[in-house]
Structure 1
Amino acid sequence: MALRRATFRLYPNKQVSEMLHYHRKLHKDLYNAAVSNRITSYKKFGKSVSYFEQQNCLPDFKEVWIEYKVINSQALQATLKRV
């Protein structure tokens, strides 16, 4: 079975464009925090942090950092999976 590829172009207005940039910034900050968490945990305790441990911390993370509540959990999990 052959898969077809489709490419879509977005032409967002200024408000949507700003929202997309803001969400991208939040994903960047989450990625950098996850990398930093893994590095400091290994340096201090000699224990590596797995994806599943970080994924299980997402609900608590979203309670503390309220701005992440607007992004759905699957998108945040995909960001953590890239670490």
Structure 2
Amino acid sequence: MALRRATFRLYPNKQVSEMLSYHRQLHKDLYNAAVSNRITSYKKFGKSVSYFEQQNCLPDFKEVWIEYKVINSQALQATLKRV
């Protein structure tokens, strides 16, 4: 079964544009934190951190950092998958 990809052009107003920019900033911060977590864990303990370990920490992460509650879990998992 072949999957098709569709690309849509957005013309957001100022409010939506600011929201998209804010969400992109949150994804960037999550990505950088995940990379930093993997590097620190390997340097200090010699243990690599897998995607699944980081994915399982997402609910606790969202409890501590409440601004990430507005982003659904699938989007955050996709960000971690790119690490």
**TM-score, normalised with respect to structure 1:** 0.94
Q: CA offsets, 1:7-53, max 9 Å, x none? A: 21100000000000000000000000000000000000000000000
Structure 1: which 5+ runs fail to align?
A: none
Distance 1:37 1:8, change over 3 A: same
The number of aligned residues is 83
Unaligned runs of 5+ in 2: none
RMSD over aligned CA atoms reads: 1.3
Q: Give 3-state SS (helix, strand or coil) of 1:10's partner.
A: coil
Q: Does the C-alpha gap of structure 1 residues 64 and 4 become closer, same or farther in structure 2, counting only changes over 3 Å?
A: closer
Q: TM-score, normalised by structure 2?
A: 0.94
**Percent of counterpart pairs with the same letter?**
98
Seen in structure 2, the aligned counterparts of structure 1 residues 71 and 4 have a Cα distance that, compared at 3 Å, is closer
Large movers: runs of 4+ above 6 Å: none
Match of 1:15, SS state, is helix
